[in-house]
Amino acid sequence: MDVFEKIKLTAFNVPFEAAEDIRAPNPNLDCLPKLEELKARFPLTQAHLPNGRTIPLLKTMQSSACERNCNYCCFRAGRDTPRASLTPDELAAAVVKLTRAGIVKGLFLSSGLASGGIRTQDRLISTAEILRYKYDYKDYIHLKIMPGAEKDQVLRAMQLADRVSINLEAPNETNLSRLAPQKAFFAELLKPLEMIESIRQTESPHLAWNGRWPSSCTQFVVGAVGETDVDLLQTTVTLRQKFQISRAYYSNFSPVIHTPFENLPPSNPWRQHRLYQAFFLLRDYRFDFEELPFNPKGDLNPEVDPKLLWAEHHLLQAPIEINTSDYAQLIKIPGIGPQSAKKILEARTYGVIRDIHTLHKMGIATSRASKFILLNGRRPPFQPALF
Query: pLDDT (tens digit, 9 = 90+) per residue, 145-172?
Result: 999 999 999 999 999 999 999 999 999 9
Q: Is 306 helix (H, G, I), strand (E, B) or coil?
A: helix
Residues 42 and 16: beta-carbon distance below 8 Å: no
pTM above 0.75, yes or no: yes
Query: How high is the pLDDT of residue 44?
Result: 85
Query: How high is the pLDDT of residue 24?
Result: 38
Residues 176 and 185: beta-carbon distance below 8 Å: yes
Q: Is residue 303 part of a domain?
A: no
Q: Is residue 275 part of a domain?
A: no
Rounded Cα–Cα distance for residues 158 and 161 (Å)? 5
Query: How high is the pLDDT of residue 34?
Result: 47
Question: Same domain for 199 and 334?
Answer: no
Question: Same domain for 363 and 245?
Answer: no
Question: Same domain for 87 and 157?
Answer: yes
Count how many domains the chain has.
Answer: 2
> What 8-state DSSP symbol labels residue 85?
B
Parent domain of 328: 315-374
Does residue 354 come out as left (phi exceeding 0), alpha (psi in the -120 to 50 range) or beta? alpha
Q: Is residue 20 part of a domain?
A: yes
Residue 110 maps to which CATH number? 3.20.20.70
Q: Is residue 236 part of a domain?
A: yes
Q: Is residue 293 part of a domain?
A: no
Residues 243 and 218: beta-carbon distance below 8 Å: no
Question: Same domain for 250 and 323?
Answer: no
Residue 357 maps to which CATH number? 1.10.150
Q: Is residue 338 part of a domain?
A: yes
Question: Same domain for 354 and 231?
Answer: no
Question: pLDDT band at residue 28, thresholds of 50, 70 and 90?
Answer: very low
Q: Is residue 96 part of a domain?
A: yes
Question: pLDDT band at residue 49, thresholds of 50, 70 and 90?
Answer: confident
Question: Same domain for 145 and 18?
Answer: yes
Question: Same domain for 91 and 148?
Answer: yes
Specify the DSSP element, H or E, that contains 237: helix 229-243
Percent of the chain with pLDDT over 70: 91
> What 8-state DSSP symbol labels residue 189?
I
Question: Same domain for 66 and 202?
Answer: yes
Question: Same domain for 252 and 354?
Answer: no
Question: Same domain for 151 and 223?
Answer: yes
Tens digits of residue pLDDT in 91-131: 999 999 999 999 999 999 999 999 999 999 999 999 999 99
Q: Is residue 296 part of a domain?
A: no
Give the other-Cβ count within 10 Å of 165's Cβ.
Answer: 29
